Amino acid sequence: MTDPGESGPLGAGPAESADAETESTEGKGTGTAAGTAAAVEPETPADVAALADRIVEEVEDVIVGKRDAVEHVLVTVLARGHLLVEDVPGVGKTTLAKSVARSIDGSFKRVQFTPDLLPSDVTGVNVFNRRTDEFDFQPGPVFANVVLGDEINRAPPKTQSALLEAMEENQVTTDGTTRALPDPFCVIATQNDVEPGQTYELPVAEVDRFTKKIRLGYPDTEEEAAILGRLTGDHPVDAVEPVATIADVRRARRIVGEIEASEAVREYVARLAVFTRRNARLGASPRGSLALIRASQARAALDGRGYVIPDDVQAEAPTVLSHRIRTESGGTDGADVVSDALDRIRVE
């Protein structure tokens, strides 16, 4: 069901260099990005925008007609968050996650969530070593830069909860020992929405940890024809080359965190969140407000700006807030509440 991972956490301490040499074919890119990106280390929001453009262009060679989706992934990564993709099977969710991981020369692991999956299959387990008479920790697939949780709602809540600490604190605790996860660390989870009778509803606490929720949708006729042409030979994801390094991503995230969000913008975000709470059974949490600020900072960086404007907030609010909202039974849903909030709340 899952690749148990390497012998130690990637990007988390002394074991990193050894892990880099033993990474499996699904774990690392080709390692050619260092020379490509070294001369253009991001130092300003404009540099972050250039970095994002390189990544988008590289991934678009594989993911046809989904530039918005690729940008959503980049915004999520730059905002130090996680992404939930709800869609039908076969629209490229796995390919998207793997392509982004390869383009930043990051480690990638995939977990197929099933009803019999155990929490230790995700986080890792201590295994008794007969030679040393001690227990050795075997890290699970969560120890990667990009972790794809495929059909996450097929596993019961007990297994889903294995991701809660990882997604919130970038660490995993097993048998009383806490281990740091790689930096950056991003979960991209897919959710099956066509077989509700064979899936489990995601706990609200878990949904709230996803920065954004998106749908890919079906390609149009021309896009699908282009996809078919590219897949007649080797899978195009194998041709994705690193155009950035993990160090570049870390620096970019630091720059994004320093982008100015004025008091007026912060108050605007807070009033949007309060509106959702007053007009739904369960509104956006303060974690959701923070996610919206961070996503807006990342959106500003993608435009090369060093400050957030209301347009950034309005662009990010639907994918950041909607999935956190629970309405009473009826014709409205979270997206409707967010749309009403954007229509009625003005920047002061």
Domain parsing of the chain, residue ranges = 45-258, 260-347
Domain 45-258 has CATH 3.40.50.300: yes
Contact (Cβ atoms closer than 8 angstroms) between residue 161 and residue 119: yes
The structure tokens 């909202």 sit at 325
3-class SS of residue 149: strand
pLDDT of residue 40: 65
Please list the rounded mean pLDDT of every run of 10 residues in the chain (348 residues): 39 36 39 46 92 92 86 96 88 86 92 92 91 89 94 90 92 91 94 77 90 88 80 74 94 97 96 96 95 98 96 97 86 88 91
pLDDT of residue 221: 87
User: Cβ neighbours of residue 26 under 8 Å, at least 6 residues apart?
Assistant: 3, 98, 108, 109, 110
Report residue 30: phi and psi, to 5°: -80, -10
Contact (Cβ atoms closer than 8 angstroms) between residue 261 and residue 312: no
State how far the Cα of 45 lies from the Cα of 167, in Å rounded to an integer.
26
Domain 260-347 has CATH 1.10.8.80: yes
- Global pTM reads 0.83
